[in-house]
Amino acid sequence: MERMSGARSLMVALEKEGANIVFGLPGGANLPIYDELYKSNIRHILVRHEQSASHMADGFGRVSRRPGVCFATSGPGATNIVTGIATAQADSAPMIAVTGQVPSKMIGRDAFQESDIIGITNPIVKYAFQPMNAAEIPEVVKKAFYISSTGRPGPVLIDVPKDVQQNEAEMVFPSEVKIRGYHPWVDPDVREIERAIDMLFTSERPIILAGGGVIISGAFAELQSIAELLMIPVVTTFKGKGSFPENHPLSLGPIGMHGHAEANKMMVEADCVLACGSRFSDRSVGTFEEFERHLKIIHMDVDPAEIGKNQTTNVAVVGDVRASLRIMVKMLIQKAIKRGGDNPWLKHVNETREYFRQNLKLHPHPLGAAKILRKLREVLPSQSIVTTEVGQHQMWASLFFDVIHPGTFFSSTGLGTMGWGFPAAIGAKAAKPDVPVLDIAGEGSFNMTENSLAVSVLDNLPVIVFLMNNFSLGMVAQWQRTFYDRRMIGIDLKNCPDYVKVAEAYGAQGIRAETIEDVGKAVQTALKSNVTTVIDIPMDPEEDVLPFVAPGTSLKDMILPS
Amino acid sequence: MWSIISVLVENKPGVLFKITNLFRSRNFNIDSISVGVTENPEFSKMTITTSADEKQLNQIIKQLDKLIDTVEVKLLDERKSIYRELVLMKIKVSKPSDIMEITDLANAFKCNVHDVRKSSMVIEITATPDRIDAFEDLIKGYGILEIARTGICALERGYGNES
């Protein structure tokens, strides 16, 4: 037991949890915390807007698979991180957000910079704490990390009134905590896994759908073993992109609204799916009723509430996806269950993939999305971490940028938060400083958090912004072209600002790439120089993302490029 | 379909808000909710009644279970549970003979008469929802001036192996 202030105990508890970096911005209500941060060994990354702090913590958390930490003050500081919290929740990313709050006696009196952040964030956090006594803080922090990082990960908020930061108490730092209403670990039911194997083995056209849960639990090797033992083709959700090497002969790539043509086609034709860590989002499966028709569904998920939420399942395996898959691999090996690749389904799958690879029409512009992204893949080392912004470029990345090394691709897939990719890339760089980090960006999305260039430059967290610039809010433009008879409104960004100059203004490197060769060279220059670089690539504003499954329709209604 | 869900929760501030906010944000419906501390002051018990089809009910239970502050979530079987609602009704008295008539009806339904005035009476009925409906139907001819209901609270019959 040791006597110290609430703020000091917060810092000690964070250090005990292994947090060595915090993204944030100080203000009146969290100054006692910052004063202790000053005295601690934890590195502080000063952001220019709190939203970016939350996205950096999110990126850090997804890459390191332990909670990233962000700090914000009360009131507007706290409300500025709401988008980041919602993003982390939608994508099950571990994160701890610590907000300052007005002194406890002022709560509820509409004090200056007071906001009810507990109430505001209730539906978008995994849990929230508001310690009212300094002595609670060590246990609160321990519980916050436990909740955030176990089971289905998610954001946890700790809202600390200023007086609670300042007050001193005898502090006890628990080495473990128990929460009676929280059971993150369920042992997978072995009988259900046996049933799953039977179902997969007896079906004629099986497919594996790998979701984000495979990446979160790091089940890459297990997934690959099962696919190879049973010779089952693998599609992924967009969130699950890169859970399976996309150059693998059994890989078909992501399904969904902008999925690969071959992936959507084979998903529709399959008679049995092994869905691993996927929540069957509407963006992945199209209409729920149509997707589950004629399809036997085996659903593995750590979150029991996902079973039966969007799809009716035939076999449900609740538990950590990696643990479940590991049991499955063991059973397959024990029972010597194997399937050869010489079957009509796999032959058909291979032919379909080959057909679309040969015949899918690509945009003719010299800087078409496919050409740009395939060039990027050529020059970017395979273990590099790639994030994306949100919009057309993101869906092009899904289509044309193959992820080779599992678990190196991250995107705001659930909430679709524009402005996420760049700060998340900075967070990723903080988690893995030795690996190149690149944000596949669109200018509309990059605009939203581009002031993080200052952070990237000054805090020596160099990342590459690969800016696919089509001078417009391209995805909205595409919908207006497709569904609103070309009544174009609110999409024209008019080539403003000049991103090379923006980069230079922040002390970063700016390169304009006007040919495919330029694109390759620019990425190589950025990799070599290891400084923050914005590569501005002017594209044709009229290029659409195709294939396209229109909202409210099913995967079989996929629109192909004509 | 009408269902009764019994939820054991941590007895601390904000938990009721989390439960009701869950129903709101997931587009579930609460017909009635009653809350009170249990024999162990660390817990409260909530009884929630809801109209939902089987699929939605399944989701309601799983989503409630997922909340960290819920300790136990049970779907109660009507036949194996006791469930009651307490209702206070203020009934209009128009002429002196009404008092006798209303009191007779109240006795027939095992209600308590709590307040008798020249122009109104307050009656308490504790019963199952269908009995309350039947009583309300009989009494409404006199004129119901005000009504306050607690929402249903319920317990399973038996304990441990008995239930």
| CATH number, domain with residue A44 | 3.40.50.970
- What percent of chain B has a predicted confidence (pLDDT) above 70? 99
pLDDT bracket for residue A512 (50, 70, 90): very high
Is A119 an interface residue toward B (CB < 8 Å)?
Answer: yes
Asked whether residue A338 falls in the same domain as residue A430, the answer is no
Domain contains B55: yes
Domain contains A561: no
Asked whether residue B149 falls in the same domain as residue B103, the answer is yes
Minimum CA–CA partner of A312 in chain B: B55
Contact B25 A307 (CB under 8 A): no
| Chain B residues lying within 8 Å of A305, measured CB to CB | 59, 62-63, 65-66
Asked whether residue B90 falls in the same domain as residue B136, the answer is yes
Asked whether residue A476 falls in the same domain as residue A504, the answer is yes
| Chain A residues lying within 8 Å of B14, measured CB to CB | 118
| Chain A residues lying within 8 Å of B25, measured CB to CB | 123
| Chain A residues lying within 8 Å of B63, measured CB to CB | 305
pLDDT bracket for residue A1 (50, 70, 90): confident
Q: What is the pLDDT of residue B88?
A: 98
Domain contains B163: no
User: Position B127: which residue type?
Assistant: A
Domain end point (choices A358, A390, A416): A358
Catalytic residue among A266, A475, A539, A558: A475
CATH number, domain of B7, equals 3.30.70.260
Q: Is A475 a catalytic residue?
A: yes
Min Cα distance B18 → chain A (Å) is: 7
pLDDT tens digits, A23-76 = 999 999 999 999 999 999 999 999 999 999 999 999 999 999 999 999 999 999
Is B12 an interface residue toward A (CB < 8 Å)?
Answer: no
Asked whether residue B11 falls in the same domain as residue B72, the answer is yes
- Give the mean pLDDT of A209-237: 97
Q: Which of A142-146, A290-294, B21-25, B34-38 has the lowest mean pLDDT?
A: A290-294
Q: How far apart are CA A493 and CA A470, in angstroms?
A: 9
Domain end point (choices B76, B108, B124): B76
Alpha carbon A388 to chain centroid, angstroms:
9
Q: Is the pLDDT of residue B161 over 80?
A: no
Task: Look over chain A and give the mean of its residue pLDDT values, rounded to a whole number.
Answer: 97
CATH number, domain of A281, equals 3.40.50.1220
Q: How far apart are CA A527 and CA A451, in angstroms?
A: 22
Domain contains B137: yes
How many domains, chain A? 3
Q: How far apart are CA B155 and CA B163, in angstroms?
A: 11
pLDDT bracket for residue A562 (50, 70, 90): confident
For A196, the token pair is 């799953």
Min Cα distance A483 → chain B (Å) is: 29
Asked whether residue A132 falls in the same domain as residue A219, the answer is no
Asked whether residue B92 falls in the same domain as residue B148, the answer is yes
pLDDT tens digits, B68-105 = 999 999 999 999 999 999 999 999 999 999 999 999 99
| Chain B residues lying within 8 Å of A181, measured CB to CB | 9-10, 67-71
Q: Is A50 a catalytic residue?
A: yes
Q: How far apart are CA A251 and CA A236, in angstroms?
A: 9
Domain end point (choices A171, A204, A221): A171
Asked whether residue B14 falls in the same domain as residue B63, the answer is yes
Domain contains A79: yes
pLDDT bracket for residue B162 (50, 70, 90): confident
Contact B59 A308 (CB under 8 A): yes
Q: Is the pLDDT of residue A185 over 90?
A: no
Catalytic residue among A50, A114, A292, A443: A50
Q: Strand, helix or coil at B87?
A: strand
CA dihedral B128, B130, B131, B132 (to 10 degrees): 80
pLDDT tens digits, A342-383 = 899 999 999 999 999 999 999 999 999 999 999 999 999 999
Q: Go through A4-28 and write b for each residue having 16 or more CB atoms within 10 A of its CB, e for each that does not.
A: bbbbbbbbbbbeebebebbbbbbbe
For A345, the token pair is 């389904």
Domain contains A100: yes
For A239, the token pair is 């969130």
| Chain B residues lying within 8 Å of A309, measured CB to CB | 59, 62
DSSP A544: P
Domain end point (choices A317, A335, A358): A358
Domain contains A458: yes
Is A343 an interface residue toward B (CB < 8 Å)?
Answer: no
Q: How far apart are CA A277 and CA A214, in angstroms?
A: 6
Q: Is A162 a catalytic residue?
A: yes
B15-23: long-range contacts (C-beta < 8 A, 24 or more apart)?
B15/B44, B15/B69, B16/B46, B17/A119, B17/A122, B18/A122, B18/B67, B18/B69, B19/B46, B19/B48, B19/B64, B19/B67, B19/B70, B21/A122, B21/A123, B22/A123, B22/B63, B22/B64, B22/B67, B23/B50, B23/B60
Asked whether residue A345 falls in the same domain as residue A482, the answer is no
Domain contains A528: yes
The shortest CB-CB distance from B55 to any of A122, A179, A308 is to A308
Asked whether residue A340 falls in the same domain as residue A422, the answer is no
Domain contains B87: yes
Q: Which of B119, B153, B125, B118 is nearest to B139 (CA)?
A: B125
Q: How far apart are CA A555 and CA A145, in angstroms?
A: 39
Asked whether residue B89 falls in the same domain as residue B60, the answer is no
Asked whether residue B91 falls in the same domain as residue B150, the answer is yes
Query: B108 is in which domain, residue-wise?
Result: 82-156
Q: What is the pLDDT of residue B97?
A: 96
Find residue A236's DSSP bridge partners. Answer: A210, A254
Is A108 an interface residue toward B (CB < 8 Å)?
Answer: no
Q: How far apart are CA A407 and CA A432, in angstroms?
A: 13
Asked whether residue B71 falls in the same domain as residue B120, the answer is no
How many domains, chain B? 2
Domain end point (choices B59, B76, B93): B76
User: Position A497: which residue type?
Assistant: P
Per 3-state DSSP, what percentage of chain A is helix, strand, and coil (rounded to 5)?
45, 20, 40
Is B44 an interface residue toward A (CB < 8 Å)?
Answer: no
Q: How far apart are CA A162 and CA A101, in angstroms?
A: 6
Q: How far apart are CA A5 and CA A133, in angstroms?
A: 10
For A154, the token pair is 């998610």
Asked whether residue B89 falls in the same domain as residue B71, the answer is no
pLDDT bracket for residue A458 (50, 70, 90): very high
Min Cα distance A100 → chain B (Å) is: 19
Domain contains A80: yes
Asked whether residue B108 falls in the same domain as residue B150, the answer is yes
Asked whether residue B56 falls in the same domain as residue B20, the answer is yes
The shortest CB-CB distance from A305 to any of B25, B63, B68 is to B63
Contact B62 A305 (CB under 8 A): yes
Asked whether residue B147 falls in the same domain as residue B96, the answer is yes
Asked whether residue A342 falls in the same domain as residue A272, the answer is yes
Q: What is the pLDDT of residue A336?
A: 86
CATH number, domain of B133, equals 3.30.70.1150
Q: Is A356 a catalytic residue?
A: no
Q: Is the pLDDT of residue B163 over 90?
A: no
Min Cα distance B115 → chain A (Å) is: 39
Catalytic residue among A126, A142, A143, A162: A162
Min Cα distance B141 → chain A (Å) is: 45
Domain contains A181: no
Domain contains A159: yes
Query: A255 is in which domain, residue-wise?
Result: 190-358
Q: How far apart are CA A366 and CA A283, in angstroms?
A: 30
The shortest CB-CB distance from B21 to any of A122, A180, A303 is to A122
Asked whether residue A507 falls in the same domain as residue A547, the answer is yes
Domain end point (choices B52, B76, B100): B76
Domain contains B132: yes
- Give the mean pLDDT of A255-274: 96
Is A308 an interface residue toward B (CB < 8 Å)?
Answer: yes
